[in-house]
Structure 1
Amino acid sequence: MIRNILIPFFIFISATTLLAQRTNSSPYSYFGIGDKFSNATVEQSSMGGIGVAFSNYGFLNFTNPAAYADIRFATYSFGLLNNDLTVKSATTSQSSTSTSLSYIALGIPIGSKAGFSVGMQPVSSIGYSLSTSIFDANDRLMQLSIFEGNGGVNRLYGSFGIKINKNLSLGIEGDFNFGNIENGISDLRADVFLSTKYNEVSRVTGGSLKLGVQYHKELENKLVISTGATVKLANSLTVTGDDYLYSLTFSPTGNEIPRDTISSNKISGSFNLPIKTNFGVGIGKFDNWYAGIEYESQDALTTNGLLTGGTNSAYNYGKSSRLSLGGFFIPKINSISSYWDRVTYRAGLRYEKTGLSVDGSGLNTNFTPIDDFGISFGLGLPLKRLSTINMGFEFGKRGTLENDLIEENYFNFRVSLSLTDMNWFIKRKID
């Protein structure tokens, strides 16, 4: 039992360090609380992100807490994400790579009709560095503005699911969000000795509550049809901190040398997130195959006390939605002659309206929606005692080159290790 406690403890400590070092290179991470991470396991992400109607006795499910009613073994799981990103404008292109921890989680059964899970995940990440230049008629640089940001938001969660009867399960999940965000704008002008910088340093905190339900019905020929739905209640993320406007110079190596503080103010506001709903349906055969589709939607987020997405801003928020479809296939889960017959093969599609609209013209009159489309597939490689190594691959595109905006083409490689302990509650005997 001591070993069972120590393993997730040390993984949690390592996860805290990795989350603190998380990086991002997307220009779209400038907006709001940053570039949002997928709230899905590697297995789910490999199937287009589906999961609201699906449950399994040995895998975690970050989409619907009702799924933990079917967990039968103590399961540790942690995932990693490697993102290869190519950012294109109408005239230039730039590539980058970043690696981050996707999640660290533990699921435990409670008897034969309930289960719970605890863990930590990134919610969003900020990591951009952009610049704009102004030249005179003789092509001489007159002004350079540098936009930089870093930080992000994480969450600690706890989920519980219970069977009401043979077919119906209910679940509840609560989480606490926390993180630090820093955004800065440096302004350098020709023939001016001192530059200026506006810097915001803020802390984000808040909690949320999600309710879930799943219904499974066995049909003829061992087919099982499943439906599921979740409702994440409206919640707010509180933002507090300070902003500074100060003068500075730069050393020959490019390091900042602060001089005088021009002004400083307190930051106090909130991001208000409306109700988010998710509904899905699927059909399949137990430990053989599954195919499902789901739809998630949320009204536009709003802000209080923050200069974000207002009527005079270069961006705003609208209703967001996601449509996903996918599934898996296992040729023969108990095959003795062929290892590859025991492998899980996954695939899926995802189309998402992020809710973010940006005006690239600078006139605040021509807002273009930023949409996201991805194609994914993956493998679940079985180890001993139901443990698995899961690999996922996703190709996608976000944004557009229209209206002077930026298009991102990305390749995500995800990997997770799911360790199943079948002896968690077995009392050892001493002869």
Structure 2
Amino acid sequence: MIRKILVALLLIITTTLSAQRTNSSPYSFFGIGEEFNPLTVEQSSMGGIGVAFSHYKYLNFTNPAALADLRYTTYSFGMLNNDLTVDNGVAKQNVTSTSLSYGAIAFPIGKKAGFSVGIQPVSSVGYSLSDPDPDVDPTQITVYSGSGGVNRFYGSFGIKVTKEFSLGIEGDFSFGNVDNNITNQRIDVALATKYHENLNVRGGSVKIGTQYQKELKNKLTINAGATLKLGNSLNVTGNEYLYSLSFSGAGEIPRDTISATSIKGSYDLPMKTTLGFGLGKFDKWYAGFEYENQNAIENVGFLNNTTTAYKYGKSNRISLGGFYLPKINSISSYWERVTYRAGVRFQKTGLLVDGSGTGTNFNSINDFGISFGLGLPLKQLTNINAGFEFGKRGTTNNNLLQENYFNFRLSLSLTDINWFIKRKID
């Protein structure tokens, strides 16, 4: 019965991820939106590390090779609450959004392999910007707005080649819709004009991973890991329309269509490499370091490719983090059985934006975050994981925007040792 409920819940998450608005960032205007790293709440609470880390009951979205150490069937569902403050150097605006962030199922295959399948967001669009400020120039206004996003279905497999060395592979299929709008209205003109772009995004990718772990003296274990996500393209198709419109109490009233054309383009992602290592003691503590690198993204054939206000450069990320578990089998104190996590992350997103409008003065949009979290044990190896992250993205220099954010993440991790055991009495 519980299995049917969990499968139904995964289907609900699939539908909800496809329909929800999960972003309020102005920087989601660019490309196919603000991109997300595939991370569990546990990983996010440790600064995003995971390429070298594996565990017998926790999922790992970074490295498929980690599934080789999985010993329990695990269901995991996560949510994200984002409290965002946008600062232009003069005024601030606050907005909050809540969304489901993933749903996944994983199970061991024998004693040396594991498999996982699930759905996660790839990117999200949710912006609304005006230019110029109506208080500065009340004669006209241009409003930029967008919504939508891209999600992915994935399947991962990991296997132990030797006692110390594991290999893994992951394939996924990304899909989604993005709407971009530019509306211009002048005070002495009866009709406004609007550019509307509707995009369908489809594509797949492949990732391969390795992990190595060696037990040292004093029960210490050293871990190393690496992943290589092969370069791939997301195909972008759709339509763009330019038309006039008027406004009433009921909203927009379209008038004459000026032009209507089809769109065919691509969002090209180059190869991404992630390297990491860590040191720890089994079910006691762990500390790890991770580095990720990717060359510049390219997008061809849709709205944001036509502007000189931005471009892409190389991106990279450095993460440090770990956990501490005082006493996993403590009887006298519940808080000794709680897992305490913390981490720090610095990321160059690869996005370069020119706030001057000249196309010659670009600023790198960087992202810095500090995170911590708790793993709260329940009965039968089940955990509730809570994560908290404070961070800053962007800058107020060069007429740009700085985002200060607080992310609260929550996940439920359920384990079932009897997935493949046939019941004798039902």
What is the deviation of 1:369? Answer: 0.2
* Match for residue 145 of structure 1 among 142, 167, 171: 142
Question: Given the alignment of the two structures, is residue 187 of structure 1 paired with residue 176 of structure 2, yes or no?
Answer: no
Question: Given the alignment of the two structures, is residue 217 of structure 1 paired with residue 214 of structure 2, yes or no?
Answer: yes
Structure 2 equivalent of residue 243 of structure 1: 240
Once the two structures are superposed, what CA deviation does each residue of 1:31-66 show, in whole Å capped at 9, x if it has no partner? 011011231000000000000000000010000000
What is the rounded CA distance, in whole Å, between the counterparts of 1:34 and 1:269 in structure 2?
A: 16
Q: How does 1:58-69 map to 2 (within 5 A)?
A: 58-69=57-68
Q: Is the 8 A contact 1:149 1:181 kept in 2?
A: yes
What is the rounded CA distance, in whole Å, between the counterparts of 1:129 and 1:363 in structure 2?
A: 22
Identity of matched residues, %: 66
What is the deviation of 1:6? Answer: 1.1
Q: How does 1:148-227 map to 2 (within 5 A)?
A: 148-227=145-224
Residue 344 of structure 1 aligns with an amino acid whose one-letter code is T
Q: Is the 8 A contact 2:159 2:167 kept in 1?
A: yes
What is the deviation of 1:134? Answer: 7.0
Once the two structures are superposed, what CA deviation does each residue of 1:241-264 show, in whole Å capped at 9, x if it has no partner? 0000000000035x1000110001
Q: Is the 8 A contact 1:133 1:144 kept in 2?
A: yes
What is the rounded CA distance, in whole Å, between the counterparts of 1:42 and 1:9 in structure 2?
A: 21
Structure 1 equivalent of residue 398 of structure 2: 403
Once the two structures are superposed, what CA deviation does each residue of 1:182-202 show, in whole Å capped at 9, x if it has no partner? 000001011111111000001
Structure 1 equivalent of residue 265 of structure 2: 269
Question: Given the alignment of the two structures, is residue 322 of structure 1 paired with residue 320 of structure 2, yes or no?
Answer: no
What is the rounded CA distance, in whole Å, between the counterparts of 2:204 and 2:198 in structure 1?
A: 21
SS of the residue 2:100 aligns to: strand
Q: Is the 8 A contact 1:391 1:415 kept in 2?
A: yes
What is the rounded CA distance, in whole Å, between the counterparts of 2:179 and 2:127 in structure 1?
A: 11
What is the rounded CA distance, in whole Å, between the counterparts of 1:193 and 1:105 in structure 2?
A: 52
What is the deviation of 1:9? Answer: 1.7
Residue 197 of structure 1 aligns with an amino acid whose one-letter code is K
Once the two structures are superposed, what CA deviation does each residue of 1:338-396 show, in whole Å capped at 9, x if it has no partner? 11100000000000000000000011110000000000000000011111000000000
Q: How does 1:328-347 map to 2 (within 5 A)?
A: 328-347=323-342
Q: Is the 8 A contact 2:354 2:361 kept in 1?
A: yes
Question: Given the alignment of the two structures, is residue 302 of structure 1 paired with residue 298 of structure 2, yes or no?
Answer: yes
Q: Is the 8 A contact 1:385 1:422 kept in 2?
A: no
TM (norm. structure 1) is: 0.96
What is the rounded CA distance, in whole Å, between the counterparts of 1:285 and 1:93 in structure 2?
A: 45
Cα 1:222–1:118, aligned 2, differ >3 Å: closer, same or farther?
same
Q: Is the 8 A contact 1:80 1:102 kept in 2?
A: yes
What is the deviation of 1:135? Answer: 7.3
Residue 45 of structure 1 aligns with an amino acid whose one-letter code is S
Structure 2 segments unaligned to the other structure (5+ residues): none
What is the deviation of 1:307? Answer: 4.9
Q: Is the 8 A contact 1:25 1:96 kept in 2?
A: yes
Structure 2 equivalent of residue 131 of structure 1: 130
SS of the residue 1:17 aligns to: helix
Structure 1 equivalent of residue 78 of structure 2: 79
Residue 224 of structure 1 aligns with an amino acid whose one-letter code is T
Q: Is the 8 A contact 2:197 2:303 kept in 1?
A: no
Once the two structures are superposed, what CA deviation does each residue of 1:400-422 show, in whole Å capped at 9, x if it has no partner? 01111100000000000000012
Once the two structures are superposed, what CA deviation does each residue of 1:77-96 show, in whole Å capped at 9, x if it has no partner? 00000000000002211000
Residue 213 of structure 2 aligns with an amino acid whose one-letter code is H
Q: How does 1:49-60 map to 2 (within 5 A)?
A: 49-60=48-59
What is the rounded CA distance, in whole Å, between the counterparts of 2:249 and 2:176 in structure 1?
A: 33
What is the rounded CA distance, in whole Å, between the counterparts of 2:299 and 2:356 in structure 1?
A: 24
What is the rounded CA distance, in whole Å, between the counterparts of 1:249 and 1:69 in structure 2?
A: 60
Cα 1:140–1:58, aligned 2, differ >3 Å: closer, same or farther?
closer
SS of the residue 2:139 aligns to: strand
What is the deviation of 1:18? Answer: 2.3
Q: Is the 8 A contact 2:371 2:390 kept in 1?
A: yes
- Aligned pair count reads 425
Once the two structures are superposed, what CA deviation does each residue of 1:275-326 show, in whole Å capped at 9, x if it has no partner? 000000000000000000000000001123335456x610000000000010
TM (norm. structure 2) is: 0.97
SS of the residue 2:380 aligns to: helix
What is the rounded CA distance, in whole Å, between the counterparts of 2:424 and 2:90 in structure 1?
A: 71
What is the rounded CA distance, in whole Å, between the counterparts of 2:130 and 2:303 in structure 1?
A: 21
Cα 1:430–1:30, aligned 2, differ >3 Å: closer, same or farther?
closer
What is the deviation of 1:24? Answer: 1.3
Residue 110 of structure 1 aligns with an amino acid whose one-letter code is I
What is the rounded CA distance, in whole Å, between the counterparts of 1:393 and 1:213 in structure 2?
A: 29
Q: Which is further off, 73-82 or 33-42?
A: 33-42
SS of the residue 1:68 aligns to: helix
Residue 188 of structure 1 aligns with an amino acid whose one-letter code is Q
Residue 7 of structure 1 aligns with an amino acid whose one-letter code is I
